[in-house]
């Protein structure tokens, strides 16, 4: 229920509150990430405007996939190196 005589004021206030809630949720999510996500965390926080929580989650998952792939590549290189020296 809007107590203001101007409906626009109430809609603007609700939209501002929703936006602030989204920012709070995004920052809460980012601050709960562990240290392995520091790079992507810093990148997101340095953006001109904070992306939506869905976009942030997508960026974090992409970083995780890339990090996992690089660890896997390093492991394969080490295994191949050990195999080569044992032969």
In a domain, 2, yes or no: no
Taking the complete model, does pTM exceed 0.75, yes or no?
A: no
pLDDT in tens, 25-69: 999 999 999 888 999 999 999 999 999 999 999 999 999 888 777
In a domain, 1, yes or no: no
User: How many residues are listed for the chain in this entry?
Assistant: 87
How many structural domains does the chain have? Answer: 1
Could you give phi then psi for residue 48, rounded to 5 degrees?
-55, -45
Domain housing 58: 7-86
pLDDT in tens, 67-86: 777 665 555 444 444 444 44
């Amino acid at each position: 229920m809007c107590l203001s005589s101007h409906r626009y004021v109430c809609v603007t206030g609700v939209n501002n509150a929703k936006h602030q809630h989204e920012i709070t949720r995004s920052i809460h999510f980012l601050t709960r990430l562990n240290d392995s996500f520091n790079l992507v965390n810093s990148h997101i926080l340095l953006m001109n405007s904070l992306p939506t929580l869905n976009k942030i989650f997508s960026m974090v998952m992409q970083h995780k996939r890339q990090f996992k792939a690089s660890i896997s590549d390093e492991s394969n290189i080490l295994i191949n190196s050990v195999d080569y020296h044992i032969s």
